[in-house]
Amino acid sequence: MPLTTMKELLMLELNELYAAEKHGAQVLPELVKAAANPELSSALEEQQRRTNEHVARLESVFTELNAWPRPISRSESKGMRGLFQDSLRLANLTKAEPHVRDAALISVAQHVLHDEIAGYGCARSWAALLGYDESATRLEKSLEEERTFDIRLTRLAENINKQALATLTHP
């Protein structure tokens, strides 16, 4: 894809977001199963539902731009693919201490979230500048949901990290 206009840049970002959300929808069920902490499991389940909403919103944005998402294999960044692989690797560490594994799951989930927050922020700004107001509003909604989930994970991590540390100091 050439990159000579802001709309092309917007399309590039939207395709990366779409690929990340679709891949996330596949990975989140594994993270839900791997989480030992019930609050973390519940938060991840809720994010799984929200991820499906993000996919639908992105599809609406593509429609407004009279475009279609590219195949995920061509759109997903290597960094995001690596983060999802890290997520699955951590989820499969069945011999890990549960609180430590939960702390690791939160860490990798927040890495993904921070990438998505940056992507949604840029895409929202570019859509607004290009006059795609409905799309900008949809992207803003997903951006706010990602930020809210990030804050929720940070609050969960405060307790889970302490529990993980306690298992090391009190075997």
Task: Give the mean model confidence (pLDDT) for residues 114-131.
Answer: 97
Phi, psi of 65 (to 5 degrees): -85, 5
Confirm whether 1 is domain-assigned: no
Domain extent for 20 = 6-169
Number of structural domains (the chain) is 1
- Beta-carbon count within 10 A of 12 CB: 15
Q: How far apart are CA 157 and CA 91, in angstroms?
A: 16
Start-to-end Cα distance in the chain: 55
Give pLDDT tens digits for 74-119: 666 677 777 778 777 777 777 778 998 899 999 999 999 999 999 9
Confirm whether 47 is domain-assigned: yes
CATH number at residue 26: 1.20.1260.10
Q: Which of 23-37, 50-64, 74-88 is the most confident on average?
A: 50-64
Residue 76 is predicted with a pLDDT of 66
Closest CA to 106 of 161, 24, 58: 161
Q: What is this structure's pTM?
A: 0.89
Show the tokens assigned to 58: 């992105």
